Amino acid sequence: MPDKKALLKYRIVLLMLLMAMGLVQAQKEPQYTQYMYNIGSFNPAYVGTVETPEIIGLYRAQWVDIPGAPTTIRGGANIPFNNEKMGLGINIVSDQLGPSTQTYFDVAYSYEIQLSDDTKLSFGMNAGGSSLNIDYSKGTFFDPSDNSILGGNYSNFYPTVGAGLFMYHEEEWYLGVSAPNFLTNALYNDEVATIVEDNMQFNFIGGYVFELGEQTKFKPAFLLNYLGGSPVTVNLSANFQFIDALTVGASYRFDNAVSGLAGFQISNAMFIGYSYDYNTNGLGEYSGGSHEAILKFYIGRGGFGSGNNKSKNKKSKNKGKQIDSPRFF
């Protein structure tokens, strides 16, 4: 005979997971803790603002120890053109939650204009698509006789079109706004209406870099996610960077999680970052937290060793953008 307390605890966890899964399904765009290193995934205007081409890989395991919890894998690239005005971005994301798997693919284009000697404004657009697959054999449902699940699985594809703005100072600050998908009705289907409904999401991001000394920088940042019909998600973070190589910081997602972040500039051409989230809501008691790792390659920088390489830190107005390696955003 199962212990009554254990059974009650299991039911509470199951109920909270179902509620949380509903919220994640409503927020179509995946959730990131290291958003400051991953801006190109949700703002197409960012892709041409980088100094050299970048390749990004990210893995996020959310609410570990809870079966069916979300996992996200992202691969992307930001490629600035030699004319210092345009850029191209590629974004591929696989987002798995319980019996559903959603795969996104889009290509982004950006064009920037000079507002002043150190400030630029970039415009961006992205276009692509998303495929949704639901395997009902992977879940237990309250009503197995529901006509929507008798077929065993469901698949659908829908197009995505979005846009964004990104304004930044070469060294000190940035502000951005984006709507990754304007086609808000594309995902809606009578067969899965109770599982997925798509609404337009807006993302607002900003950050500032304070020079605390020759070897120390401080960067507070924020990310706001607004989805029609849902509460605004507020992310605040604070990172410190030492000797252009080591980054440590913390982040807070209102009414959701507190996070620790760390990153290391392995070389002028490679950065690795890690974050751990501890849930401050009811899931914190039952979840093992969330883990997120990011790996970035900067094509064309080259050279191994500390990111404090003097030849790389010195600004250059020769061919290409000014290089201040590594830039903190």
What's residue 177's pLDDT?
97
Query: Between 2 and 247, whose confidence is greater?
Result: 247
DSSP secondary structure letter of residue 31: P
3-state secondary structure of 188: coil
Nearest partner of 284 among 19, 30, 16, 18, judged by Cα: 16
3-state secondary structure of 39: helix
**CA pair distance 283, 257, nearest whole angstrom:** 10
How remote is the C-alpha of 178 from its chain's centroid? 13
What's residue 15's pLDDT?
44
Q: Cβ of 100: how many Cβ atoms within 10 Å?
A: 23
**CA pair distance 17, 217, nearest whole angstrom:** 39
Per 3-state DSSP, what percentage of the chain is helix, strand, and coil (rounded to 5)?
A: 15, 50, 35
**CA pair distance 138, 136, nearest whole angstrom:** 5
Looking at residues 73-94, what average pLDDT do you find?
95
**CA pair distance 259, 249, nearest whole angstrom:** 9
Q: Are 268 and 309 in contact (CB under 8 A)?
A: yes
Q: Are 227 and 26 in contact (CB under 8 A)?
A: yes
Average pLDDT, the chain: 80
Please identify which residue in the block is written with the tokens 């984006």.
Answer: 178
What's residue 241's pLDDT?
94
Domains and CATH numbers, the chain: 4-313 (2.40.160.40)
**CA pair distance 308, 264, nearest whole angstrom:** 12
Q: Which of 63-67, 148-152, 227-231, 257-261 has the lowest mean pLDDT?
A: 148-152
Single-letter code of the amino acid located at 45 = A
| pLDDT tens per residue, range 216-244 | 999 999 999 998 777 899 999 999 999 98
Nearest partner of 112 among 192, 53, 167, 41, judged by Cα: 167
DSSP secondary structure letter of residue 321: S
Query: Between 34 and 7, whose confidence is greater?
Result: 34
How remote is the C-alpha of 329 from its chain's centroid? 14
**CA pair distance 303, 297, nearest whole angstrom:** 12
Query: Between 135 and 78, whose confidence is greater?
Result: 78
φ, ψ dihedrals at 137, nearest 5°: -70, -15
Q: Quickly list DSSP for 286-319.
A: T---EEEEEEEEETTT--BS-TT-HHHHS---SS
- CB contact set of 92 (below 8 Å; sequence gap of 6+): 74, 75, 76, 103, 104, 105
3-state secondary structure of 147: helix
Q: What sections of the chain are H helices per DSSP? A: 4-26, 310-313
